[in-house]
């Protein structure tokens, strides 16, 4: 990202609070231009949200805040523009495809119309269609994209799927077995988490954050704690930082391992399905022994962590992890040495690097397409400022690449955890939180196992949090799955889907 032309932006950092009033306000067209320019030179749209209120005298006016991550320089660009409910503003999506879901979210929650949005249909709130339709001048609110022509047929799946998984609706446009286009309509899991969060107690807020996506309880809990700590201007102890890093990597290990098992299952390789499945449980059980919950719920809390790790626990953890690593390696080598498995993984569900960049994909999915991005290195927080995990990337962008990236990340996370269990400081005491600073905005980025998690917290003049935004990595990546399916066969969908393994609840909130 170039250094020039930075007027109209405020630079912030991960897990730092800045004054809202210091964020420059620019005309809407200029905001769209600046975001497009920053993203054209390596930036990514991490968050886009409407702030709770603008200046007291401007009735009905609110601010649209954009957060662009500059991965090369470990900084976040903030800019805002004034918008009014019921009116339109220049859509970012017209030039920046990665803004499309954000602007649909804003449209359905505030009534603001992003003028020039290419596919403005509700993201999650089907029930509000009639109300939303009033804002549209271009026909029905949510047609499904349709392909016409001889021999074209449509396959509709969901919301209830044939397995123990979350609900969503998939609409395939096919010619024979070949998928021409897939449209994914989510929203079935929409619980109203963001709205409930704002009127909840501090304890309830943590529970909601941990339930944004239940398999990502540690990462979302951590992002929430980092946002609150930034607003309180509190830094947790070094021991607690290490403990949080260990917990985050254990969560990554369990989920990546489970994904490898599920991918084996989808190609009919049962030894891999059985053994990775068992090993995933063994990894969850490490979190269970430490925190009392298989998903690490309640371990990370504002100001620190609930439980430390005594020397005896650490050496026991190290031993158990060593045994798990041996079995993981054995199973991974068997899987990767089986030509029928590799043949199914290779050249299935390819996402090119250009598409990954355009859509703003994150996490292992982006890295598998050659995008060298990882919050742990690019916007380091806590222990990751002192201990580095090499970023794993691949080039081919297919299911195979997503398998390889996961397997590399498993090995590197194990090495990190083993090292931290030796090096970590004993003191994990919880720091008390002072009242939150007024009129601040804090952005917390965490590399969850699916990719970048962003929490944006905004305080009012009295220091209360009155604006909060959750961005699960799934929010960025669902569209990537739709694109990955093009020119593939319907029968490849389970495999492609598993290689992304996105959260429905994390997207739907």
Partner 1 sequence: MISLLRARLRQGRQTLDFPAGPVPLPERFRGRPVLDGSKCQEGCRACVAVCPTEAIRTDPLAIDLGACLFCAACEEACPTGAVSYTPDYRLATRVREDLVVSGAEAKLATALDDAMRSLLGRSLKLRQVSAGGCSGCEAELAALGNVVFDLGRFGIQFVASPRHADGIVITGPVTGHMELALRETYQAIPAPKIVIAVGACAISGGPFAGAASSGDGVPADIPVDLYVPGCPPHPLTLLDGLLRLTGRIRAGTR
If one asks whether residue 278 binds partner 1 (CB under 8 A), the answer comes out as: yes
Kindly write out the interface string for residues 451-490 of this chain, putting x where it contacts partner 1 by CB under 8 A and - elsewhere.
----------------------------------------
Task: Give me the half-sphere count of Cα atoms (radius 13 Å) on the Cβ side of residue 232.
Answer: 16
> Under the criterion CB under 8 A, does residue 204 sit at the interface with partner 1?
yes
Nearer to partner 1, 12 or 332 (CB): 332
- For the bound state, the minimum distance from the C-beta of residue 113 to partner 1, rounded and expressed in Å, comes to 22
Coil, strand or helix at 361: coil
Strands 304-305 and 88-90, by their bridges, are unpaired
157 binds partner 1 (CB under 8 A): no
Is residue 429 involved in binding partner 1 (CB under 8 A)?
no
Contact 447, 391 (CB under 8 A): no
Cα 432 to Cα 434: distance, rounded to the nearest angstrom: 7
b (16+ CB within 10 A) / e for 153-173: eeeeebeebeeeebebbbbbb
Residue 451's DSSP bridge partners are 448
SS3 at position 137: coil
CA–CA dist 315, 319 (Å, integer): 6
Residue 281 binds partner 1 (CB under 8 A): yes
Number of residues that bind partner 1 (CB under 8 A): 62
- The yes or no reply on residue 339 touching partner 1 (CB under 8 A) is no
In the three-class reduction of DSSP (H, G, I as helix; E, B as strand; rest coil), residue 494 is classed as helix
Contact status: 52 vs partner 1 (CB under 8 A) = no
Pick one of 8, 43, 97, 187: the residue that binds partner 1 (CB under 8 A). Answer: 187
Is 291 one of the binding residues for partner 1 (CB under 8 A)? yes
Q: Residue 273 or 366: which CB sits closer to partner 1?
A: 273
For residue 196, state whether it binds partner 1 (rule: CB under 8 A). yes
Closest approach of partner 1 to the CB of residue 203, in Å: 4
Contact residue for partner 1 among 327, 346, 358, 419 (CB under 8 A): 327
Distance from C-alpha of 104 to C-alpha of 111, rounded to nearest angstrom: 10
Q: Which stretch binds partner 1 (CB under 8 A): 33-41, 227-235, 278-286, 421-429?
A: 278-286
On whether the CB atoms of residues 446 and 225 are closer than 8 A, the answer is no
CA angle at 36 for the pair 34 and 39, rounded to the nearest 5°? 105
Site for partner 1 in 102-131 (CB under 8 A): 124-127
Which span (21-29, 213-221, 240-248, 478-486) binds partner 1, by CB under 8 A?
213-221
């Amino acid at each position: 990202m170039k250094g020039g032309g930075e007027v109209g932006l405020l630079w912030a950092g991960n897990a730092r609070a800045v004054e809202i009033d210091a964020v420059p306000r620019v005309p809407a067209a200029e905001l769209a231009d600046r975001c497009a320019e920053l993203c054209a030179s390596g930036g990514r749209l991490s968050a886009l949200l409407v702030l709770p209120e603008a200046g007291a005298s401007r009735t009905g006016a609110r601010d649209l805040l954009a957060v662009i991550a500059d991965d090369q320089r470990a900084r976040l660009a903030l800019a805002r523009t004034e918008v009014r409910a019921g009116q339109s503003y220049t859509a970012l999506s017209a030039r920046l495809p990665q803004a499309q879901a954000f602007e649909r979210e804003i449209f359905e929650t505030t009534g603001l119309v992003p003028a020039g949005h290419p596919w403005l249909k509700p993201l999650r709130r089907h029930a509000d269609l009639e109300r939303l339709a009033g804002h549209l001048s271009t026909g029905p609110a949510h047609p499904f994209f349709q392909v016409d022509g001889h021999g074209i047929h449509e396959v509709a799946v969901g919301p209830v799927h044939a397995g123990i998984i979350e609900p969503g609706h998939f609409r395939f446009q096919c010619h024979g077995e070949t998928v021409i286009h897939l449209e994914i309509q989510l929203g079935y899991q929409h619980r109203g988490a963001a709205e409930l969060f704002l009127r909840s107690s501090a304890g309830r807020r943590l529970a909601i954050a941990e339930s944004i996506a239940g398999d990502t309880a540690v990462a979302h809990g951590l992002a929430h704690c980092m946002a609150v700590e930034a607003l309180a201007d509190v830094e947790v102890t070094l021991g607690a930082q290490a403990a949080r890093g260990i917990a985050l990597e254990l969560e990554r290990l369990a989920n990546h391992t489970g994904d490898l098992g599920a991918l084996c299952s989808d190609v009919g390789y049962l030894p891999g399905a059985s053994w990775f499945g068992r090993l995933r449980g063994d990894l969850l059980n490490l979190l269970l022994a430490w925190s009392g919950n298989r998903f690490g719920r309640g371990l990370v809390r504002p100001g620190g962590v609930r439980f430390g790790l005594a020397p005896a626990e650490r050496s026991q953890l190290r031993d158990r992890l060593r045994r798990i690593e041996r079995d993981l390696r054995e199973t991974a080598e068997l899987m990767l040495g089986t030509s029928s498995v590799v043949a199914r993984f290779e050249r299935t569900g390819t996402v090119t690097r250009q598409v990954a960049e355009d859509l703003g994909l994150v996490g292992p999915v982006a890295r598998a397409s050659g995008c060298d991005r990882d919050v742990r290195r690019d916007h380091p927080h806590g222990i990751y400022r002192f201990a580095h995990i090499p970023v794993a990337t691949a080039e081919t962008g297919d299911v195979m690449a997503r398998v390889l990236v996961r397997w590399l990340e498993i090995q590197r996370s194990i090495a990190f955890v083993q090292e931290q269990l030796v090096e970590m400081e004993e003191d994990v005491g919880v720091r008390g939180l002072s009242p939150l600073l007024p009129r601040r905005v804090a952005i917390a980025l965490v590399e969850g196992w699916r990719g970048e998690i962003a929490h944006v917290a905004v305080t009012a003049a009295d220091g209360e949090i009155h604006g909060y935004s959750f961005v699960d990595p799934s929010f960025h990546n669902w569209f990537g799955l739709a694109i990955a399916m093009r020119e593939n066969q319907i029968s490849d969908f389970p495999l492609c889907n598993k290689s992304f393994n996105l959260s429905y609840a994390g997207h739907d909130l």
